[in-house]
C-alpha cells in the first residue's frame, strides 16, 4: 500500500518540525519521518537542557557558508522576533544571557512541546523509528520506500541535520541523498568543538582542568572571540575556543590572548618600576589563579625572579606569550562532542529564498545538513527555524 502526502519531511529535528508545522498551516498534508524514537533530541539536550533557541543580535555575518549572501533571505523572512513571538504565544518563559542569547527559564522540553503542538494543529503525521530505504523521482514528486511502507509525496524536504553526536541519531543520509540527485556536498568537519592539546602541552595544563578565564581566541582566518576559555582534561574548551574552532583549519595554530583587558608589556613595565622586588609568580598571580600562574612559568621556561632582575628575553617573551600565545592544538574532539557540522550540501545549488533545489523541483534541504553553520549563541537553531519556515512556505 502506498501512502500519499503532499509534503514528506525526513528528520524530526529543529528544522524538520518547523518546516512541517509551517507547511501544514498552509493546508498541506504533511508527514514527518525520523529513525530516532523521539523527536527533537538535540533540542532537548541543547543549552544545558534549557535550549539557547535564538539570539537577539542576529546578523548574516554570524554564519559560515560558501556563499556568504545565502543566509540573508531566509533570516529576513523568518527572524528571531518571529520565533520569539511563537515562544511567547506558547507561554514559554525565557531569559537573556550574555551576547543576546535567549534560553528557556525552565526546560528545552518546552520548545519541543511547542513545535509538536504546532505540527499537531496542522494535522502533521509524525512517524518515529522509521528508516528510509530508497528515494526515487517520479514525473510528479517522489516515491520513498521506508520501513513502514511506500510513501509518495509532491515535495520532499531533507532535514537530517549534521554529523555531530552520532549517539543522538545523526547520520550522513542527507548528504548521500543530495549526491544521488547530483548535488555537490562540501567536505564536512566538526564545528563548535573543543581543542585537544599536544602531549607536551597536555602534561602542563591537564592538572589545571576546571580553571576558566576570559580570553580572546582567534583562528587565522576568523574573527577574534572574547569569552570564557575552560581548561579541560583533554585540552581547552569554553565559548571562545568553540567559536574559534569554526574558523580553524586542521593543523593551524590559534592566537590566544590570556589577558585581553591588559596590555601586558605596559603593565609589566609599570610593575617593574613600582615593585622591582616582587617575584614574577606573585605578579602573575595578580592576574591569574595561582596554579595557572605557576604553570605558565614552568611551561614557558621563565625564571621566577624579582621583576627588576628579569632579562631582556624574558621581558619580551612574557607579553608575547600572554597577549599573543600561538597555541597549536593537537586536534579537536571530533563529532563526539561537536555541536555542529561545517560543510554539507552546497548552497549554490539551492534557492536562498525557498531552500528548493534548483535542478530538482520539489526537493528541499533545510537546517544543518546544508553548508551553513552559525556561531555559538542560538544562531544554529535560528537557521533551523528560518530555513525550515521558508521551505515550509514553498514545499
Q: Does position 159 bind ligand FDA by CB under 6 A? A: yes
Q: Dig out the grid coordinates for 33 from the structure.
A: 519521518
Q: Does position 368 bind ligand FDA by CB under 6 A? A: yes
User: Which residue sits closest to ligand FDA, CB atoms considered?
Assistant: 13
User: Which position among 28, 29, 42, 248 is part of the footprint of ligand FDA (CB under 6 A)?
Assistant: 42
Site size for ligand FDA, by CB under 6 A?
36
Among 68-76, 160-168, 183-191, 254-262, the segment contacting ligand FDA (CB under 6 A)? 160-168
Q: What is the DSSP string of 107-120?
A: -THHHHHHHHHHHH
Residue with cell 590559534: 254
Q: Interaction with ligand FDA in 325-354: which residues (CB under 6 A)?
A: 339-340
Choose among 79, 75, 114: nearest CA to 94.
114
Q: Give least dist CB 4 to ligand FDA, A.
A: 20
User: Which position among 35, 189, 234, 248 is part of the footprint of ligand FDA (CB under 6 A)?
Assistant: 35
How many DSSP H helices and E strands does the chain contain? Answer: 13, 21
Q: What are phi and psi of 150, to 5 degrees?
A: -90, 135
Q: Give least dist CB 281 to ligand FDA, A.
A: 38
Q: Based on CB atoms, which residue is closest to ligand FDA, 239 or 319?
A: 239
Give dist(CA 95, CA 56) in Å, integer: 11
Q: Does position 178 bind ligand FDA by CB under 6 A? A: no
The β-bridge relationship of strands 149-158 and 363-365 is parallel
Q: Give least dist CB 313 to ligand FDA, A.
A: 44
Helix/strand/coil percentages in the chain, nearest 5? 40, 25, 35
Choose among 193, 182, 222, 145: nearest CA to 345.
182
**Residues whose CB is less than 8 angstroms from the CB of residue 328 and which lie 6 or more positions away in sequence, other chains included:** 198, 252, 253
User: Which position among 7, 22, 23, 52 is part of the footprint of ligand FDA (CB under 6 A)?
Assistant: 52
Give dist(CA 138, CA 141) in Å, integer: 5
Q: Does position 238 bind ligand FDA by CB under 6 A? A: no
Q: Based on CB atoms, which residue is closest to ligand FDA, 30 or 318?
A: 30
Q: Does position 75 bind ligand FDA by CB under 6 A? A: no
Contact (Cβ atoms closer than 8 angstroms) between residue 103 and residue 53: yes
Binding site for ligand FDA (CB under 6 A): 10-16, 34-36, 41-42, 45-47, 51-52, 132, 159-161, 164-165, 169, 171, 173, 339-340, 367-369, 378-381, 384
Amino acid at each position: 500500500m502506498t501512502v500519499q502526502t503532499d509534503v514528506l519531511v525526513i528528520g524530526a529535528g529543529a528544522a524538520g518540525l518547523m518546516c512541517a508545522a509551517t507547511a501544514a498551516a498552509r493546508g498541506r498534508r504533511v508527514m514527518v519521518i525520523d529513525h530516532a524514537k523521539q523527536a527533537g533530541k538535540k533540542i532537548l539536550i541543547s543549552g544545558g537542557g534549557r535550549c539557547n533557541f535564538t539570539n537577539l543580535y542576529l546578523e548574516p555575518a554570524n554564519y559560515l557558508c560558501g556563499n556568504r549572501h545565502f543566509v540573508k533571505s531566509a533570516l529576513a523572512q523568518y527572524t528571531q522576533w518571529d520565533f520569539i513571538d511563537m515562544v511567547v504565544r506558547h507561554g514559554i518563559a525565557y531569559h537573556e544571557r550574555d551576547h543576546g542569547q535567549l534560553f528557556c527559564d525552565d526546560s528545552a522540553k518546552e520548545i519541543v512541546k511547542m513545535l509538536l503542538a504546532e505540527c499537531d494543529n496542522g494535522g502533521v503525521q509524525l512517524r518515529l523509528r522509521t528508516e528510509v530505504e530508497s528515494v526515487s523521482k517520479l514525473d510528479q514528486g517522489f516515491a520513498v520506500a521506508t520501513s513502514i511502507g511506500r510513501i509518495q509525496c509532491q515535495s520532499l524536504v531533507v532535514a537530517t541535520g549534521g554529523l555531530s553526536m552520532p549517539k543522538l541519531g545523526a547520520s550522513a543520509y542527507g548528504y548521500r541523498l543530495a549526491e544521488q540527485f547530483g548535488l555537490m556536498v562540501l567536505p564536512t568537519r566538526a564545528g563548535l568543538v573543543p581543542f585537544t592539546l599536544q602531549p607536551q602541552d597536555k602534561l602542563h595544563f591537564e592538572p589545571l582542568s576546571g580553571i576558566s578565564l576570559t580570553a580572546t581566541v582567534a583562528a587565522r582566518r576568523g574573527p577574534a572571540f572574547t569569552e570564557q576559555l575552560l581548561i579541560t582534561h583533554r585540552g581547552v574548551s569554553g565559548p571562545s575556543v568553540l567559536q574559534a574552532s569554526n574558523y580553524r583549519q586542521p593543523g593551524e595554530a590559534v592566537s590566544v590572548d590570556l589577558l585581553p583587558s591588559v596590555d601586558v608589556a605596559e603593565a609589566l613595565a609599570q610593575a617593574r618600576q613600582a615593585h622591582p622586588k616582587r617575584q614574577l609568580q606573585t605578579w602573575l598571580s595578580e592576574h591569574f589563579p595561582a596554579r595557572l600562574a605557576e604553570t605558565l612559568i614552568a611551561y614557558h621556561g621563565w625564571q621566577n625572579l624579582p621583576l627588576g632582575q628579569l632579562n631582556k628575553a624574558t621581558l619580551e617573551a612574557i607579553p608575547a606569550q600572554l597577549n599573543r600565545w600561538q597555541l597549536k592544538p593537537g586536534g579537536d574532539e571530533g563529532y563526539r562532542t561537536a555541536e555542529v557540522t561545517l560543510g554539507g550540501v552546497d548552497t549554490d545549488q539551492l534557492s536562498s529564498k525557498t531552500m528548493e533545489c534548483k535542478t530538482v523541483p520539489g526537493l528541499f534541504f533545510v537546517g544543518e545538513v546544508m553548508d551553513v553553520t552559525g556561531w555559538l549563541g542560538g544562531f544554529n537553531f535560528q537557521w533551523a527555524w528560518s530555513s525550515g519556515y521558508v521551505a515550509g512556505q514553498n514545499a
